[in-house]
């Protein structure tokens, strides 16, 4: 069966931790979208691992697959594999032949477009990893795929078509001074090296076929979405989004498994008990001042990839209702309940008010969303607790006020909680239901 893990908010909900907990039961951990814009830290046996592309399950000896919906920077891929090997691991990583390759010019163009937008305060605040430009080329049918790296003639043809266009764009539109990042021969040489290594290490797969065979063999697959629903190119607050679909529907498209296969499994929505955002865009429940700083510090809300301080806010329930519908969650994981401990009072944005009307879910227009005023509900705060004692004692060991908060969310989203994160460590978790069981 499959278990699909999806961020319900704006990324950084603690998906890596949930993947890590349930990953034990999985044989294969698959990413279906995004690239090295994601970032997660996993602590195993006291050792800390930071990964942005390779699925973290490989640390536990699982097969990690980058599906066709991903964009792959081979530099990052090999750096992460090499770093794991240096630490004595033997990661089994497979890459879809249909996945698109992030090339050096994609990063340059990502940066320069952000700079251009910044002139009018319109920048997205991207991670600068070349994600948007690579997906643009995929849709524009001028991309280079992993399979192309393995075929010198096809690779050269692809580059000879795409690179001069990019060079012209960079020089003539943006006034840049193009270097090796826009040189066909230089990129070709690098790409051939990537291709040779991918071949030597037998990494390239036809993802759909490879994964379907493993499902047929009775294995367990965990499909790991990166970023979150409100960063989805279709369902998020466009244009302040990433360029792929973190929502669960793309777990089918981005792996080559059928929607019926994914639909027979579980779809777990990961919710942080408050809200954070790295880049630009509306955030009606945003906090500032001392309270924001307190939550940011308690929650360690600084970007894993970029180190940027994250914006923080109260939980936004309209955003979560939208996410529950768009993804069809069968269960929830609510993380970081410990971060809110010690506050006298908590608020959640229960609804929005827009033009005198109450809205229960986010409007489809980002401009309208930014005009929404949150309608808050207050909850009693809960006292500090010992995370390990709560993890050992189970759900009933949580302070009563925290349980009230959790049950409110279960009711509003009509979805049970499978997991509660009560501390930063893997063991500091209350598992109410294992989706693989």
**CB of residue 11 vs ligand IMP: minimum separation in angstroms?**
3
Using CB under 6 A as the binding rule, whether residue 417 contacts ligand IMP is answered as no
In 359-433, which residue ranges form alpha helices assigned H by DSSP?
Answer: 366-371, 387-393, 400-413
**CB of residue 102 vs ligand IMP: minimum separation in angstroms?**
11
Q: Which stretch binds ligand IMP (CB under 6 A): 80-88, 126-134, 360-368, 392-400?
A: 126-134
Residue with smallest beta-carbon separation from ligand IMP: 279
What SS3 class is residue 127?
coil
Q: What is the C-alpha to C-alpha distance for residues 269 and 59, in angstroms, rounded to an integer?
A: 23
- One of 29, 58, 271, 278 touching ligand IMP (CB under 6 A): 278
Backbone angles phi, psi at 126, to 5 degrees: -65, 170
**Residue 41 contacts residue 16 (beta carbons within 8 Å):** yes
Q: Which of 40, 106, 235, 336 is catalytic?
A: 40
Using CB under 6 A as the binding rule, whether residue 245 contacts ligand IMP is answered as no
Using CB under 6 A as the binding rule, whether residue 39 contacts ligand IMP is answered as yes
Cβ neighbours of 300 (radius 10 Å) = 12
Using CB under 6 A as the binding rule, whether residue 11 contacts ligand IMP is answered as yes
Q: Which stretch binds ligand IMP (CB under 6 A): 80-88, 123-131, 261-269, 351-359?
A: 123-131
- CA torsion, ordered 296, 323, 246, 141, to nearest 10 deg: -130
Give bridge partners of residue 70 from the DSSP assignment.
Answer: 34
Q: Which is nearer to ligand IMP, 129 or 158 (CB)?
A: 129
The tokens 């240096």 sit on which residue?
86
- One of 226, 268, 323, 402 touching ligand IMP (CB under 6 A): 226
**CB of residue 37 vs ligand IMP: minimum separation in angstroms?**
4
- One of 127, 229, 255, 415 touching ligand IMP (CB under 6 A): 127
Query: Which run of H or of E encompasses 100?
Result: strand 100-101
**Residue 260 contacts residue 251 (beta carbons within 8 Å):** no
Residue 124 structure tokens: 């997205």
Q: What is the C-alpha to C-alpha distance for residues 226 and 31, in angstroms, rounded to an integer?
A: 8
**CB of residue 306 vs ligand IMP: minimum separation in angstroms?**
7
- One of 63, 134, 227, 285 touching ligand IMP (CB under 6 A): 227
Instruction: Dump the DSSP string for 230-291.
Output: GG-TTTS-TTSS-SS--STTHHHHTTT--HHHHHHSEEEEEEESSEEESSSS--TTB--HHH
13: which residues sit within 8 A by CB, 6+ positions away?
7, 228, 270, 271, 272, 335
Using CB under 6 A as the binding rule, whether residue 104 contacts ligand IMP is answered as no
- One of 30, 70, 231, 267 touching ligand IMP (CB under 6 A): 231
The tokens 């301080």 sit on which residue?
309
- Is 12 an annotated catalytic residue? yes
Using CB under 6 A as the binding rule, whether residue 37 contacts ligand IMP is answered as yes
Q: Which is nearer to ligand IMP, 68 or 243 (CB)?
A: 243
Q: Which stretch binds ligand IMP (CB under 6 A): 36-44, 62-70, 258-266, 362-370?
A: 36-44
What SS3 class is residue 385?
coil
Q: Which is nearer to ligand IMP, 91 or 225 (CB)?
A: 225
- One of 243, 255, 330, 417 touching ligand IMP (CB under 6 A): 243
Catalytic residue numbers, as ranges: 12, 40
- Binding-site ranges for ligand IMP (CB under 6 A): 11-12, 37-39, 124-127, 129, 131-132, 226-227, 231, 240, 242-243, 278-279
């Amino acid at each position: 069966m499959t278990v699909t893990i999806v961020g319900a908010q704006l990324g950084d909900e603690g998906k890596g931790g949930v993947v890590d907990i349930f990953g034990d039961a999985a044989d294969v951990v698959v990413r279906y979208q995004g690239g090295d814009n994601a970032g997660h830290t996993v602590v195993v046996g006291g050792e800390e691992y930071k990964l942005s592309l390779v699925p973290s399950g490989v640390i536990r000896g699982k097969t990690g697959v980058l599906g066709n919906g991903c964009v792959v920077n081979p530099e990052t891929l090999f750096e992460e594999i090499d770093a794991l090997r240096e630490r004595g691991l033997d990661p089994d990583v497979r890459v879809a032949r249909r996945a698109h390759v992030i090339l050096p010019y994609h990063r340059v163009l990502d940066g320069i477009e952000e700079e251009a937008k910044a002139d009018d305060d319109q920048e997205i605040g991207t991670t600068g990893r070349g994600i948007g430009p690579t997906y643009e080329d995929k849709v524009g049918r001028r991309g280079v795929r992993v399979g192309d790296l393995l075929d010198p003639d096809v690779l050269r043809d692809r580059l000879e078509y795409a690179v001069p266009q990019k060079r012209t764009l960079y020089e003539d539109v943006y006034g840049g001074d193009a270097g090796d990042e826009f040189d066909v021969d230089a990129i070709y040489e690098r790409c051939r090296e990537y291709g040779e290594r991918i071949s030597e290490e037998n990494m390239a797969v036809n993802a759909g076929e490879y994964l379907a065979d493993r499902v047929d063999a009775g294995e367990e697959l965990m499909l790991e979405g990166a970023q979150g629903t409100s960063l989805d190119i279709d369902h998020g607050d466009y244009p302040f989004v990433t360029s792929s679909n973190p929502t669960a529907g793309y777990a089918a498209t981005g792996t080559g498994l059928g929607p019926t296969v994914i639909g027979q499994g579980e779809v777990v929505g990961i919710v942080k008990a408050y809200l954070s955002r790295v880049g630009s865009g509306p955030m009606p429940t945003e906090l500032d001042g001392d309270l924001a700083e307190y939550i940011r510090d308690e929650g360690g809300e600084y970007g894993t990839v970029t180190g940027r301080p994250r914006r923080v806010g109260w939980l936004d329930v309209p955003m979560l209702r939208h996410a529950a519908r768009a993804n069809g969650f069968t269960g929830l994981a609510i993380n970081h309940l410990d971060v809110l401990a010690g506050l006298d009072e908590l608020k959640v944005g229960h609804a929005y008010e827009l033009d005198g009307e109450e809205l229960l879910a986010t409007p489809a227009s980002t401009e309208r969303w930014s005009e929404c005023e949150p309608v808050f509900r207050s909850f009693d705060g809960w006292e500090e607790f010992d995370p390990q004692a709560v993890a050992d004692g189970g759900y009933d060991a949580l302070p009563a006020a925290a349980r009230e908060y959790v049950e409110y969310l279960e009711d509003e989203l009509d979805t049970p909680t499978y997991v509660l994160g009560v501390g930063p460590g893997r063991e500091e978790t209350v598992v109410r239901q294992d989706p693989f069981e």
